[in-house]
């Protein structure tokens, strides 16, 4: 599926980013103290050194509100959000959706608010949804948040999954604008294959993943979606200044970059510090790269993701001047 808006004043344009990670930091040595694992194994297989875990009593909505607050502050006093989209697969409750509570918590009660669940691809799916709402004229300013608390569903005694995930939230403000503006979403590609639903799932209350099969799928699908979106945008891999993909595993990021012909310096990685934060992964990576001065106005940015479903997606934009 593809999403693109040719109509003037009806393209989603990035206007602000914000992020939040909880204060509790879990190191590889902390995990090795209670699991049959080691810093050496985790670092060499995943690149992850630390991950953040939600404080007791805090849930996905709390993290989402914190990231949303940061993005709204960055957007400035003139921001006028009419829609809140929350990408998550760890909602506070099965019913109702978490986005209305997030909107209310941000002082935005009354706006449209709903959840999108595409697991680790949720943020890219959310971008396409926000772009579609803006293209249709239904929304003018969307607050898109990716937030997950996988600490609630990852078995702390399972060494095959516990080291991989961290909690967090990232948010962007998307406003209606022109297709040629910096920050305009240039193209989005989405896909899924439900025949592989069992690769990433929750069984008996705990997250379960077929690691090696997911690894292979992640590399193939992220590279494929990236290639498709580059072709639709009219960019070659060498045109990309920053490749900000879903932060699943440092080896996966590098393998996708190598497959595409994007060298390691252009592959942004914060998985080392935060682990796999699922739907929060790409907006957290964008916010961290922006804060670190690693994304500059005019940079051609490529996003790609793969996750449970299975689902995948990719998007392109030129980085705008942001506060």
* Phi, psi values for residue 152, rounded to 5°: -75, -20
Question: Is there a catalytic annotation at residue 290?
Answer: no
Q: Which residue stretch of 3-11, 21-29, 39-47, 172-180 sits at the interface with ligand UT7 (rule: CB under 6 A)?
A: 39-47
Q: Contact 64/92 with Cβ under 8 angstroms?
A: no
Q: Contact 273/49 with Cβ under 8 angstroms?
A: yes
Nearer to ligand UT7, 140 or 159 (CB): 159
Residue 173 C-beta: closest distance to ligand UT7, Å: 25
Q: In the range 239-268, which residues lie near ligand UT7 by CB under 6 A?
A: 246, 248-249, 252
Question: Is there a catalytic annotation at residue 28?
Answer: no
* Exposed/middle/buried for residue 58 (C-beta within 10 Å: 0-12, 13-18, 19+): middle
Judged by CB under 6 A, does residue 37 bind ligand UT7? yes
- # chain residues binding ligand UT7, by CB under 6 A: 23
CA distances from 218 to 13, 149, 208, 224, 299 (A): 28, 21, 16, 10, 25
CA distances from 174 to 80, 121, 236, 259 (A): 11, 18, 26, 31
Q: In the range 161-180, which residues lie near ligand UT7 by CB under 6 A?
A: 163
Residue 215 C-beta: closest distance to ligand UT7, Å: 4
CA distances from 271 to 169, 195, 268, 290 (A): 14, 28, 9, 15
Judged by CB under 6 A, does residue 160 bind ligand UT7? yes
Judged by CB under 6 A, does residue 214 bind ligand UT7? yes
Judged by CB under 6 A, does residue 215 bind ligand UT7? yes
Question: Is there a catalytic annotation at residue 246?
Answer: yes
Nearer to ligand UT7, 83 or 311 (CB): 311
Which residue ranges make up the site for ligand UT7 (CB under 6 A)? 37, 41-42, 45-46, 120, 159-160, 163, 200, 209, 211-212, 214-215, 218, 246, 248-249, 252, 276, 306-307
Q: Which residues are catalytic?
A: 120, 246, 276
């Amino acid at each position: 599926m593809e999403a693109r808006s040719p109509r003037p004043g009806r393209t989603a344009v990035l206007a602000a980013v914000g992020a939040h990670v909880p204060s509790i930091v879990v190191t590889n040595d902390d995990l090795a103290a209670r699991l049959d694992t080691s810093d050496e194994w985790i670092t060499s297989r995943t690149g992850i050194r630390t991950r953040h875990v939600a404080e007791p009593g805090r849930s996905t909505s709390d993290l989402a509100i914190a990231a949303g607050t940061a993005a709204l502050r960055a957007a400035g006093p003139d921001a006028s959000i009419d829609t809140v989209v929350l990408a998550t697969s760890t909602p506070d409750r099965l019913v109702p959706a978490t986005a209305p509570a997030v909107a209310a918590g941000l002082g935005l009660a009354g706006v449209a608010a709903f959840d999108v669940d595409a697991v680790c691809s949720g943020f890219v799916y959310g971008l396409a949804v926000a772009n579609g709402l803006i293209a249709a004229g239904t929304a003018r300013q969307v607050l898109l948040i990716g937030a997950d608390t996988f600490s609630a569903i990852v078995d702390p005694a399972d060494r095959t999954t516990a080291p991989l995930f961290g909690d967090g939230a990232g948010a962007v403000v998307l406003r209606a604008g022109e297709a040629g503006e910096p920050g305009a979403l240039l193209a989005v590609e989405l896909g899924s294959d439900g025949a592989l639903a069992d690769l990433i799932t929750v069984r008996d209350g705990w997250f379960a993943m077929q690691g090696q099969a997911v690894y292979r799928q992640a590399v193939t699908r992220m590279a494929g979606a990236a290639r498709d979106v580059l072709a639709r945008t009219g960019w070659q891999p060498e045109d990309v200044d920053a490749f900000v993909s879903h932060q699943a595993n440092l080896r996966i990021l590098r393998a996708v970059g190598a497959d595409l012909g994007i060298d390691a310096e252009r592959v942004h990685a914060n998985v080392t510090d935060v682990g796999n934060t699922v739907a929060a992964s790409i907006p957290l990576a964008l916010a961290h790269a922006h804060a670190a001065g690693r994304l500059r106005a005019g940079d051609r940015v490529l996003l790609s993701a793969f996750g449970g479903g299975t689902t995948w997606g990719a998007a392109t934009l030129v980085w705008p001047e942001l506060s």
